[in-house]
Amino acid sequence: MSIRELSRVHRVHRRTVREALACAEPPARKTPVRESPVLGPWKEIITGWLKEDLTAPVKQRHTGRRVWQRLVEEHGAQIAESTVTHAVSRIRKELAVAVADVAVHQTHAAGAEAEVDFGEFWAVIAGIRMKLWMFVMRLSYSGKAVHVAYANQAQESFLDGHVLAFERFGGVPVSRVRYDNLKPAVIRLLLGRERVENPKFIAMRSHYGFDSFFCRPGVEGAHEKGGVEGEVGRYRRRWLTPVPEFATIAELNEFMAGCDAKDDQRVIGTRPATVASMFTEETAVLRELPDDVFEAAETLSCKVDAKAMICVRQSY
């Protein structure tokens, strides 16, 4: 078949047919370089304003319309608003790529660290549907976790969760435990990582001999204890769906302890072994439990009124 015939059959130019016969791979498509003669003088100014917006309050950052208004009012620019808004959208995407945060995969030594969090869930207790809170402590190396249900997020529940978790682990992490800024642990946030810790929480740390590590507030610090953050949702979907029904919270906690034992046989992500086998490595490294058990309950002094009643936390 001739070049002319191929050109007629495939409806392409004869030059295209010759190029195809010369090389089996098509040439790379040329990307045209288009200039923006109207936008050109203002692109650097727009980029500067949008860079300043990265550190400005969220509700006081430039919109595309505001950028156009400033160009017209402050620089006398003769340019369409749509041209400016399209440029603002494109430049914002470029800046977002340039300043994107990068997360580095964490590695943990056996028995060194743990993570703590509270998560809420619903359960039917004695026929009543109620919101409960789940205390979770997770060893960072093996992923071994303890889940305990409580009726509230009070400090007593927070501290009691530590006591139960350390008992089930058979020891205490030798380095530190990671927290977000829970009120039972933190009274006030200071600069950087500094915190004013609750005296009762300090007493509990001193009793068991571990350090505390507080993550940055909000979404920025979520990845710093990402293991337990994901664990709350995973456990809720795996074992608390559909909504569980029990006569008492104690029975619910027995069920949750059994679920923890079943979870020991799972493999987390790309880890080389099951939770149980990796936890076996940690048991030899964990710090031994102290001889006496920490008292998580709070001691209160109350006065009896004329009706022989006392008030504890607004309850008689």
The pLDDT value recorded for residue 314 is 67
Indicate whether 108 pLDDT > 60.
Answer: yes
The pLDDT value recorded for residue 278 is 93
The pLDDT value recorded for residue 136 is 94
39-48: Cβ within 8 A, 24+ apart: 39/79, 39/83, 39/84, 39/87, 41/77, 42/71, 42/75, 42/77, 42/79, 42/84, 43/87, 43/91, 45/71, 45/75, 46/71, 46/84, 46/87, 46/88, 46/91, 47/91, 47/95
Indicate whether 97 pLDDT > 70.
Answer: no
Instruction: Give the mean pLDDT of the chain.
Output: 86
Domain boundaries defined on the chain? 3-25+38-98, 113-283
Q: What is the dihedral of CA 208, 250, 243, 264, to 10 degrees?
A: 50
Indicate whether 300 pLDDT > 60.
Answer: yes
**Residue 158, SS3 per DSSP:** helix
Least confident of 10-19, 141-150, 240-249, 252-261: 10-19
Indicate whether 145 pLDDT > 70.
Answer: yes
The pLDDT value recorded for residue 296 is 84
pLDDT in tens, 207-239: 999 998 888 776 666 667 777 888 888 899 899
Closest CA relative to residue 202, chosen from 313, 301, 294, 312:
294
The pLDDT value recorded for residue 35 is 67
pLDDT in tens, 39-83: 788 888 999 999 988 888 887 888 889 899 999 999 888 889 998
- Put simply, whether the predicted model's pTM sits higher than 0.75 gets the answer no
**Domain spanning 113-283 has what CATH number?**
3.30.420.10
More confident: 16 or 102: 16
